[in-house]
Structure 1
């Protein structure tokens, strides 16, 4: 087990022995803390060197203002936005960037606060949403948003909340913020009493004035519009985000397509040929006219095994 995680869990449990509220107070800053950025993989460096780099200023988690690094490839009006996950960076999308540019798309990615080349040590989903809004002002409606892991949840929440995108792709994404808090509790090993207080503090700290932020931080309780085609990619053996999360997303989005892989895990899935092909196909496919859909309609599922 990671020593830092073990120490963090011990500190939370020690505070919780005095009071669940104290335990939650110790846990909350850890929830938004981001580990030092991982380096860019050698294979991804040429793609990142070719990017046109820029910066966006967003309010930031403390609403005091912060800058994020952006990357742009290609040109034209067909803009595809790539949203990385927690403890990740834009360079992880390098294989997909190359494929999309070859197909004539403008591709835009970013390093969220405290990730990659962007400054900071803390962040949360509101930053991803603010980045989407800033990019929307610059480029107009997106042809597609592709999000990996935490970035996939951000894509779903953003489009459900009004970000203009013709299509959405999630890869290894959780279905809602509740799943993240449950995972965080399991990692630190604190009690359900602390968990209740943690959720209360989380809501008041990150979403002051919101009666129930978990209602809109959920692709299950607030799905994206039915007119927006959704591709859900997830590996059956994902150890970080269970495959059941993909099924939860699909259940809330009748007509979505699920690409179920095996043997690719949580991160290697981003560079797999079968996934790259599926994403390109999804983005290129014509969008059918909206039709009445039954709530009992199930998602279209495709199962593939890693070579």
Structure 2
């Protein structure tokens, strides 16, 4: 979305908010939860075609899953915002050489999974459906996929899960919302309206949805990797999570950005899951 379009949308909804604040807030929340269409590109498609594909059902969603069979422990991969399972190709290639059994899912409204709306809570529910089917020993999540993986483990307490990996994961719903409000230039009416809609929809305020707070209740051995210069998710989010998690290893990187698609990062991940 271009800066000029962002300004137009922000100003338009601000104007509407003086007439109908709830409508403007609903529209703003809808736009926040609607990823831009992110089709699987040709290179990713040929890679994903090498896996066994299976669709699992959750509510109105058909969840696309991919399986690369191996003789070792099962690793479940959860990608981030406006991405898909193809983003894991390099890591999957390394895990295959170590004979891991590898599963990946496309998030709601991403890749080949159906739906038009996305949030970390719904994503965590989808992870639960996939985990019940494939019984992973390890879950690796990037960005909001890491947040959703943490939400999953806090809410469902999978005792069979041995390890978690959070790569560039956000900690706070409030922080994510605040960044969105600032980017769009929304006024206080819309900001307060969004918070009220979250409370109405989930029976909890946005401040409740904190991976840092949830981490206090997660016993699973966890690796947290975050780049100091991440321009998407602040490094301080990882520091909050690590501070509260009693069974976490925290590794900071420099220069790998938010994507963390780097040989050094892959080595950290593999060393952790093999330890």
Q: Considering fraction of residues, name the structure with more helix.
A: 2
- The question of 1:48 aligning with 2:48 is answered yes
| Whole-angstrom distance in 1 between the partners of 2:204 and 2:112 | 35
Cα distance per residue 1:26-53 (max 9 Å; x no partner): 21211211101144373x4553231111
Q: For 1:114 and 1:143, how far apart are their aligned partners in 2? A: 26
1:148 maps to 2:145: no
In 1, the alpha carbon distance for the partners of 2:40 and 2:17 equals 36
Q: Give the Cα separation in 1 of the matches to 2:218 and 2:27.
A: 40
**1:72-111 pair list within 5 angstroms:** 72-76=67-71, 78-111=73-106
Shift of 1:221: 2.1
Scaled by the length of structure 2, what TM-score is found? 0.90
Check if 1:123 corresponds to 2:124. Answer: no
**Per-residue CA distance 1:153-190 (angstroms, 9 max, x = gap):** 00111111124221111111100222221121111111
User: Which aligned pairs between 1:206-217 and structure 2 lie closer than 5 A?
Assistant: 207=202, 210-212=203-205, 214-215=207-208, 217=209
Q: Structure 1 residue runs of 4+, over 6 Å off?
A: none
Unaligned 5+ segments in structure 2 are none
Task: Judge conservation of contact 2:196–2:205 (CA < 8 Å) in 1.
Answer: no
Larger deviation: 31-40 or 10-19? Answer: 10-19
Asked if 1 retains the 8 angstrom alpha-carbon contact of 2:121 and 2:151, the reply is no
Residue 290 of structure 1 aligns with which residue? Answer: none
Task: For residue 213 of structure 1, report the CA deviation from its aligned partner.
Answer: 6.3
Deviation at 1:93, TM superposition (A): 0.9
**CA distance 1:2–1:88, shift in 2 (3 Å):** farther
CA distance in 2, matches of 1:211, 1:114: 24
Q: 1:158 matched to which residue of 2?
A: 152
Which one of the candidate residues 237, 240, 243 is aligned to 1:245? 237
Is residue 282 from structure 1 mapped to residue 253 from structure 2 by the alignment?
no
Residues in 2 aligned to 1:147 and 1:159: alpha-carbon distance in whole angstroms: 12
Between the two proteins, the alignment pairs up a number of residues equal to 272
Cα-Cα RMSD: 2.1
CA–CA distance in structure 2, aligned partners of residues 76 and 6 of structure 1: 52
Other-structure match for 1:37: 38
Q: Offset of 1:227 from its aligned partner?
A: 3.3
